[in-house]
Structure 1
Amino acid sequence: MKNKKTVVLGATTKPEKYAYIAINKLVEKGHSVLAIGQNAGEVAGVKIHTKQIPLANIDTVTLYLNPKRQVDYYNYIIETKPKRVIFNPGTENPQFYQLLQSNGIKVEVACTLVLLATNQY
C-alpha cells in the first residue's frame, strides 16, 4: 500500500465524529496525516492545527466541513495542489468541484472511511 499524504480538514477530538474516526483509520493504514480543525488537540498522535499551515506534496485533502465553511479554504486547497479532494457525505459542493477541476485537481464525492475499508483509498 502506498502512503498517501493526507490532510483532514475539519479535524476534531470528538470520538463520535467521522473526522476523528478517519484520522485513526488513516494512521492505522500507514498514511501520513496532517489535521486542521477549529480546536487544537491530538488524535492518534496527529496534532490538530487551528490555522492554515504550509503544505507540500499532498496527495489527498479529505473534507469534513460543510460547504459554507469550505469557502475560507478554497484558495488554500487550490494553492496546495493536492492530487484529489474527497467530499465526504454532507460536504458536497458543486461550486467548489468546478474550481478544483479547473485547477487540475481531481474531485471525489465519496466516503473516506468506505474507501479505506474497501482498499480503494
Structure 2
Amino acid sequence: MRKISIISISLLLLVLTYILVRPQPEIISVSLISETAETTYIDNDSIRIFSDAIRTVKKVRGAVDVGPPTYRMNVTYADSEVVKFSLYLDFKSKSGFLINHSNSEKMVKLKESSSKELTDLLSKD
C-alpha cells in the first residue's frame, strides 16, 4: 500500500512539473485588424507584449454577449497554427479583454500591466 502511495505522489509531481515548465508555443506574428487598418507585428518587443498578454489572462465568469471588438487579432505560432481572437481595449482606462474565437462564449481579462503595455504600443501607431 505504501509503495502505491509513493508511486502515485511521484506521478502527480511529475505531471505538475510538466504542466508548469512545458514550453509555450512561440508566437512569430500578430495581425490586428480594425475598421480602418490592418497592422502586423513581428518585432521581438511587440511579440513579447502580446505573448505576455495572452499568457497571463484571468478568467471572467459566465458567458458573454458584447459588441464589435476594438481589433480582430490573428496570432501566428512557429508551428504555423493561427489562433483568432477578438481584442477589446479601453484606451482611457487602459483595460482590456480577449475572446478566443474557438470558445467565443468565454471572455478573459487582460492583466492590468499587459493592458497598459498593449494600449501604449497601439497608441503609437
TM-score, with structure 2 as normaliser: 0.25
TM-score, with structure 1 as normaliser: 0.25
Q: Which has the higher helix share?
A: 2
Q: Which has the higher strand share?
A: 2
Choose 1 or 2 for highest CA Rg: 2
